[in-house]
Structure 1
Amino acid sequence: MEENDVVRSLAALAQPIRLRVFRALVVAGPSGLTPGALTETLGVPATGLSFHLKELVHAGLISQERQGRNLICRASFERMNTLLGYLTEHCCEGEACAVDGKAAACGC
């Protein structure tokens, strides 16, 4: 992962509503959520949500897919895992780190 991509991803998450949206999509898993479900779940106005979704798409953290009349938003687990890997690549002074059972069980 390039440094500029890391900065773009972290900048996108450095805003409370976008962080909440991303976390909600992570919890939703591969099935994702519609923007309507996100506005209901998070109490975010629909008018502002599209702006935040666009920023997350631009950062590569979420994807959007049209299914009939619905737009489905999904977290990009691959991008999230790559970002986390980049951030922790040289932790523990370059030694292998033990991963707790909860993180290892994610399987995303």
Structure 2
Amino acid sequence: MELNNATTALAALGQPTRLSVFRLLVEAGPDGHTPGEIAEALALPNATLSFHLKELAAAGLIQGEAEGRHIHYRADFATMAALVEFLTRNCCGGDRNRCLPPGEA
């Protein structure tokens, strides 16, 4: 992941509603959720949810897939892993053991 992609993803996640939606989709795993399920779980109006889903999709953090008359949204785990890798690249000068909490090295 490059700096511009990471900045876009972090900006999308820097909003509380979008972070909540993304975390819900991460928890759901590959099954994902329909917009109705997300709206119900987070008590969001449909128009508000639609806006936030669009922002997360534009950042590459989620994907929507049509299944019959419904769309299932899923977290893009490859993008999530790439973002975490970008954030931790060269952690502690390349010695990741220095970054671990005491007792976990």
Q: How does 1:15-26 map to 2 (within 5 A)?
A: 15-26=15-26
Residue in structure 2 matched with residue 76 of structure 1 by the alignment: 76
Where do 5+ consecutive residues of structure 1 fail to align? 101-108
Shift of 1:93: 2.0
Q: Which runs of 5+ in 2 are unaligned?
A: none
Matched, 1:58 2:58: yes
Alpha-carbon separation, structure 2, partners of 1:19 and 1:29? 15
Identical amino acids, percent of aligned pairs: 51
The structure that has the greater radius of gyration is 2
User: How far apart, CA to CA, are the structure 1 residues paired with 2:67 and 2:13?
Assistant: 26
Mapped partners of 2:8, 2:52: distance in 1 = 14
Per-residue deviation, 1:34 = 0.2
Q: For residues 38-74 of structure 1, what are the alpha-carbon distances to aligned partners after superposition, in whole Å with 9 as ceiling and x for unaligned?
A: 0000111111100000000000000000000010000
TM-superposed deviation, 1:99: 7.0
Distance (Å, rounded) in 2 between the aligned partners of 1:99 and 1:70? 43
Paired residues for 1:40-51 under 5 Å? 40-51=40-51
Matched residue SS, 2:96:
coil
In 2, Cα distance between equivalents of 1:81 and 1:99: 18
Letter in 1 for 2:42: L
- Matched residue SS, 1:44: coil
Q: CA RMSD in A?
A: 1.4
